[in-house]
A and B are shown apart, each in its own frame.
Chain A
Amino acid sequence: MIDTVTHAIEDPDHVQPFAELGLKPDEYQRIRDILDRRPTSSELAMYSVMWSEHCSYKSSKVHLRQFGEKKPETDVLLVGIGENAGVVDIGDGWAVTFKVESHNHPSYVEPYQGAATGVGGIVRDILSMGARPLAVMDPLRFGPLDAPDTRRVLPGIVAGVGGYGNCLGLPNIGGEVVFDPTYVGNPLVNALCVGAMRHEDIHLASAKGVGNLVVLYGARTGGDGIGGVSVLASETFDEGGPTKRPSVQVGDPFMEKLLIEATLEVLHSGLVEGIQDLGGAGISCATSELASNGEGGMHVWLDHVLLRDPTLTPEEILMSESQERMCAIVRPDNLEAFLALCGKWDVEAVVIGEVNDSGRLTVDWHGERIVDVPPRTVAHEGPVYDRPYHRPSWQDALQADGPDRLPRPSTPDELRATLLTMAAAPNLASKSWVTSQYDRYVLGNTVLAQPEDAGMIRIDEETGRGIAVSTDCNGRFAKLDPYAGAQLALAESYRNVAASGAIPLAVTNCLNFGSPEDPEVMWQFAQATTGLADGCLELGIPVTGGNVSFYNQTGDTAILPTPVVGVLGVIDDVDRRTPMAWGPDGELIYLLGDTRDEFGGSEWAHHVHGHLGGLPPMVDLQRERLLGEILVAGSRDGMLTAAHDVSDGGVAQSLVEMALRAGIGARCWVPDGLDPFTFLFSESTGRAVVVVPRSEELRFTEMCAARQLPAHRVGVVDSGLGADAGYPAGTQVLQFSDQFTVTLDEVRDAHERTLPAILG
């Protein structure tokens, strides 16, 4: 029997399974207060999903407000936080939108579909702003490479990311693959998408214009992705009814490709007044958000929804997270043209409702009223919690346990062995086992892709205007000091974008943490958000949006706090990008910035000693800003042939990656005042390795001196060192004067063998 509003009034004492749906008793009471009666089962379903942590940000909201409160003075933000994705002005009338979201839990349960639908969901967010999606990136975190759990989830997640993105026709241009024991049972799948549009094509999720129609189009609605709602469904169905579908959604990238083309065509034809993608919470979310952002009223005929399974109950239809669906607000006189364009792309579309000025969201099921609520109370006025937090009891001991006591390599042989060991460490090793499963070429505008510092795509084929994006986070740093850790993630991402030659403009984030109900985790979250907000203010780049993922923990063990930060930059002409591979013989290798003895949370301490303790490297955002300006100027004025940021693994890893990318060796030396170990493996921030043609050396070093950025010449590109070092003529080597020599072949072998050795 359908639970109608009339029924709810007549039977006020009906016991409802709110706890099973994840609502607390006071939250349930609040719904009763809002409605002045008990909710119907459909209303209960809507509130329970929309008031979930995932949709309402109820535990994080009080902290996320800082991103708005501390927003730097900026004129690049066209659409800010709160919409499907923020929109940034990149000049020449172009607008770019980008966002990163988590799909962690589904990817653990069902790696392939969890990861695939993570990509699909973020792509629809970008599409719903009116932008053509142009590229994706995927920051991933796994347990140790050799853990059985990793071997279960990693291949499936990578195949899912690739399977969906490749079939959708979006190049995958970057991301991360990081291993740490805390991610066993809690893999992180964050998905980023970036898209572009002309300024006039920006669209928002709002249902404006009384009498306008609500059109649902794309895939049919099925029983997939229904989580807690099955509790309600089980009340309605007798035994022998349909079995419960999996809570993980199933993706159809082909349908998403059609949805993109159809959506862009209806938008560009001026047929759409407002648009919203369907993701978490499905029709409940789309209708309540559209209504809440618009005239405030909407009526929905739920039985008009096209179904994959005719036995679905109204509660299930409202909650279904079936993928590849969009909701558009269309004027009645445009409906025919809208439906025709959908038909052109073989996309099904149906009118499911109408905009009105009732101030209510009403839903009928075969003529009976099953929902009658104020839409704002569903979409925007959910509960907000200022959860208790405190500094963890173990934080001081962790910070006191510094890396100073760890034995360090000192002889040339030990340093050589350490360099090879580090190049092969899972976190530093080549990720081509992963990235070669992603199409990086489709659309023909990819200028830089992994393993480059940032992904870069051309936006305008006439002018060469383009963008660069990087995502970064070192969770170990964040564990040692969440405030500094978030700023270090920001700094690294900022530096990577600048190293490519692009000017950093805006920030998105995906904040992955343990349980917010644990005050120590909540402290990490509060610290990290404050650090990130303060850091963005200092760097002068606004946060445009983001996503929070809580409950990433097994038992009492939370993941490393992992505030993944994505930075977007603009470059006037992608022809001026700075790649990572250095140029021909004779070019000079410079290390920019200050190198200190900083090994807390370093990859060396982690990989060689299994140690995590002490303090992370010092944060100096003014220095990062200066370094960024020098890197961008060097690119713009043609002074640099290559640049690579220094981060995980230190200068040694940067030099190894640049040499391998070029296939050309170099002679390097330790600058005065540094011991070889610190020079090679310290992870001091605010540094980059750049390569300068001899003809530009004076101009470049004078610029650095004038701006007071330390620049040390640490090497020269040289393809002819092999014979002198005792190898066959032509052998490419990395030589560290007075220390040791390694051939690129042995470094490459170490670097590239690690992942295939375990993953096949």
Chain B
Amino acid sequence: MRIGVVTFPGSLDDRDAARAVRIAGGEPIPLWHGDDDLKSVDAVVLPGGFSYGDYLRCGAIARFAPVMHSLVAAAEGGLPVLGICNGFQILCESHLLPGALTRNDSLHFVCRDQRLRIEDVTSMWTSDFDAGQEIVIPLKNGEGGYVADEATLDRLEGEGRVIARYLEVNPNGSRRDIAGIRNERGNVVGLMPHPEHAVEALTGPTTDGLPFFTSILTSLVAAA
């Protein structure tokens, strides 16, 4: 399975995302922000980082990159996309997911090992988890507070589209402790914490992040 990993100027976790894909058993395919060719990939990861420096609103410039023109259309057609951290911000800016990510309520960048509960296992990126499974993966962001209007939040919860929630500590002031959401179809997932940093016992706090990357392979095989 060919999983594309997009590099924008300022992407930082693109190598990590590619490594996670490889460890899960997929083939990572580098995609370049300036190239609208998706190279026939089966799914795409938008990695963490500070695309274009995030000097404007996070992700606001990245959404206009040539690769995003192709990606938005493909995602609307069902291509699986996982946006992690800055990738989540880009998905929101691209209107593939509702809501927005705002500055942490602490006003500090925060890096911590974060406990989460996986609440939706119907998405293409979470199917290898058990519903209600608790995991610990790194979280690191300065603008990770998920916000949306009450109606949108109600709808996300009502439709089971909150894929993960923060447990014990809400690290950034996200509404209703939301750590990640999916679109209606379940192919597009945005997640603020970093599963790609929890795929090896040696370098991560756990290997709890790996199922995000095996899930997509399982989902793609099942769909094939």
Residue A673 at the chain B interface, CB threshold 8 Å: no
Q: Nearest CB to that of B198 among chain A residues?
A: A441
Residue A557 at the chain B interface, CB threshold 8 Å: no
Flag if B203 contacts A447 (CB, 8 Å). yes
Flag if B52 contacts A458 (CB, 8 Å). no
User: In chain A, residues 395-409, which have Cβ atoms closer than 8 Å to a Cβ of chain B?
Assistant: none
Chain A CB within 10 Å, residue with most, of B9, B52, B194:
B9
- Residues of chain A contacted by B9 (CB below 8 angstroms): 254, 257-258, 345-346
User: In chain B, residues 1-38, which have Cβ atoms closer than 8 Å to a Cβ of chain A?
Assistant: 9-10, 12-13, 15-16, 19
Q: Nearest CB to that of A158 among chain B residues?
A: B108
User: How far apart sit A255 and B203, CA to CA, in the bound complex (Å)?
Assistant: 28
Across the interface, B13 reaches (CB within 8 A) one of A167, A442, A461, namely: A442
Residue B111 at the chain A interface, CB threshold 8 Å: yes
Flag if A441 contacts B197 (CB, 8 Å). yes
Across the interface, A162 reaches (CB within 8 A) one of B52, B109, B194, namely: B109
Across the interface, B194 reaches (CB within 8 A) one of A163, A436, A441, namely: A441
Q: What mask results when residues 51 to 68 of chain B are scored 1 for a CB within 8 Å of chain A, else 0? A: 011110000000000000
User: How far apart sit A169 and B13, CA to CA, in the bound complex (Å)?
Assistant: 8
User: How far apart sit A437 and B108, CA to CA, in the bound complex (Å)?
Assistant: 7
Residue A697 at the chain B interface, CB threshold 8 Å: no
Flag if A444 contacts B197 (CB, 8 Å). yes
Take A166-B142, A436-B110, A437-B109 as given contacts and tell me if A254 and B10 are in contact as well, using a CB distance cutoff of 8 Å: yes
User: How far apart sit A518 and B53, CA to CA, in the bound complex (Å)?
Assistant: 45
- Residues of chain B contacted by A254 (CB below 8 angstroms): 9-10, 50, 52-55
- Residues of chain A contacted by B197 (CB below 8 angstroms): 441-442, 444
Across the interface, B203 reaches (CB within 8 A) one of A346, A438, A444, namely: A444
User: How far apart sit A438 and B138, CA to CA, in the bound complex (Å)?
Assistant: 12
Take A257-B10, A441-B138 as given contacts and tell me if A163 and B109 are in contact as well, using a CB distance cutoff of 8 Å: yes
Take A166-B109, A252-B53, A437-B108 as given contacts and tell me if A574 and B16 are in contact as well, using a CB distance cutoff of 8 Å: no
Across the interface, B111 reaches (CB within 8 A) one of A169, A257, A440, namely: A440
Interface size for A (C-beta < 8 A) is 32
User: How far apart sit A697 and B76, CA to CA, in the bound complex (Å)?
Assistant: 62
User: How far apart sit A446 and B15, CA to CA, in the bound complex (Å)?
Assistant: 14
Flag if A166 contacts B16 (CB, 8 Å). no
Residue B196 at the chain A interface, CB threshold 8 Å: yes
- Residues of chain A contacted by B204 (CB below 8 angstroms): 441
User: How far apart sit A252 and B50, CA to CA, in the bound complex (Å)?
Assistant: 12
- Residues of chain A contacted by B203 (CB below 8 angstroms): 441, 444-447, 458
User: How far apart sit A255 and B196, CA to CA, in the bound complex (Å)?
Assistant: 25
Take A253-B53, A439-B140, A575-B202 as given contacts and tell me if A169 and B12 are in contact as well, using a CB distance cutoff of 8 Å: yes
User: How far apart sit A346 and B16, CA to CA, in the bound complex (Å)?
Assistant: 23
Across the interface, A441 reaches (CB within 8 A) one of B54, B110, B140, B142, namely: B140
User: How far apart sit A660 and B50, CA to CA, in the bound complex (Å)?
Assistant: 34
Residue A115 at the chain B interface, CB threshold 8 Å: no
CB of A61 to closest CB in B, whole Å = 39
User: In chain A, residues 322-352, which have Cβ atoms closer than 8 Å to a Cβ of chain B?
Assistant: 345-346
Flag if B16 contacts A443 (CB, 8 Å). yes
Q: Nearest CB to that of B108 among chain A residues?
A: A437
User: In chain B, residues 163-198, which have Cβ atoms closer than 8 Å to a Cβ of chain A?
Assistant: 194, 196-197
Across the interface, B196 reaches (CB within 8 A) one of A346, A444, A574, namely: A444
CB of A694 to closest CB in B, whole Å = 24
Take A254-B55, A436-B111, A447-B202 as given contacts and tell me if A442 and B50 are in contact as well, using a CB distance cutoff of 8 Å: no
Flag if A169 contacts B109 (CB, 8 Å). no
Flag if A443 contacts B15 (CB, 8 Å). yes
Residue A371 at the chain B interface, CB threshold 8 Å: no
Across the interface, B50 reaches (CB within 8 A) one of A167, A436, A438, A461, namely: A167
Interface size for B (C-beta < 8 A) is 29
Q: Nearest CB to that of A347 among chain B residues?
A: B9
User: How far apart sit A255 and B10, CA to CA, in the bound complex (Å)?
Assistant: 8
Residue A159 at the chain B interface, CB threshold 8 Å: yes
Across the interface, B12 reaches (CB within 8 A) one of A252, A257, A435, A438, namely: A257
Flag if B49 contacts A169 (CB, 8 Å). yes
User: How far apart sit A436 and B111, CA to CA, in the bound complex (Å)?
Assistant: 5
- Residues of chain A contacted by B15 (CB below 8 angstroms): 443-444
Flag if B19 contacts A444 (CB, 8 Å). yes
Q: What mask results when residues 99 to 142 of chain B are scored 1 for a CB within 8 Å of chain A, else 0? A: 00000000011111000000000000000000000000010101
Take A441-B197, A446-B203 as given contacts and tell me if A167 and B10 are in contact as well, using a CB distance cutoff of 8 Å: yes
Flag if A438 contacts B111 (CB, 8 Å). yes
- Residues of chain A contacted by B112 (CB below 8 angstroms): 436
Q: Nearest CB to that of B110 among chain A residues?
A: A436
- Residues of chain B contacted by A440 (CB below 8 angstroms): 111
User: How far apart sit A168 and B10, CA to CA, in the bound complex (Å)?
Assistant: 8
Flag if A166 contacts B140 (CB, 8 Å). yes
User: How far apart sit A202 and B194, CA to CA, in the bound complex (Å)?
Assistant: 34
Q: Nearest CB to that of B10 among chain A residues?
A: A254
Chain B CB within 10 Å, residue with most, of A162, A345, A575:
A162
User: How far apart sit A442 and B84, CA to CA, in the bound complex (Å)?
Assistant: 13
User: How far apart sit A168 and B19, CA to CA, in the bound complex (Å)?
Assistant: 19
Q: Nearest CB to that of B204 among chain A residues?
A: A441
- Residues of chain B contacted by A258 (CB below 8 angstroms): 9-10
Flag if B202 contacts A574 (CB, 8 Å). yes
- Residues of chain B contacted by A446 (CB below 8 angstroms): 203
- Residues of chain B contacted by A461 (CB below 8 angstroms): 19
CB of B59 to closest CB in A, whole Å = 14
Q: Nearest CB to that of B48 among chain A residues?
A: A442
User: How far apart sit A440 and B53, CA to CA, in the bound complex (Å)?
Assistant: 19
User: How far apart sit A166 and B110, CA to CA, in the bound complex (Å)?
Assistant: 10
CB of A441 to closest CB in B, whole Å = 4
User: In chain A, residues 557-583, which have Cβ atoms closer than 8 Å to a Cβ of chain B?
Assistant: 574-575
- Residues of chain B contacted by A444 (CB below 8 angstroms): 13, 15-16, 19, 196-197, 200, 203
A-B contact pairs, 18 of them (CB 8 A): A166-B50, A166-B109, A167-B12, A168-B12, A169-B12, A169-B13, A254-B9, A254-B50, A258-B9, A435-B111, A436-B108, A437-B109, A439-B111, A440-B111, A441-B140, A442-B48, A458-B203, A575-B202
Binding site for A on B (CB under 8 A): 9-10, 12-13, 15-16, 19, 48-50, 52-55, 108-112, 138, 140, 142, 194, 196-197, 200, 202-204
* 7 nearest CB pairs, A to B: A254-B53, A169-B12, A444-B16, A441-B197, A167-B50, A441-B138, A439-B140
| Additional pairs, 19, CB under 8 Å, beyond known A257-B9, A258-B9, A444-B200 | A166-B109, A167-B50, A169-B13, A253-B50, A254-B50, A254-B55, A258-B10, A436-B108, A437-B110, A439-B109, A439-B140, A441-B194, A441-B197, A441-B203, A442-B12, A443-B16, A444-B19, A446-B203, A574-B202
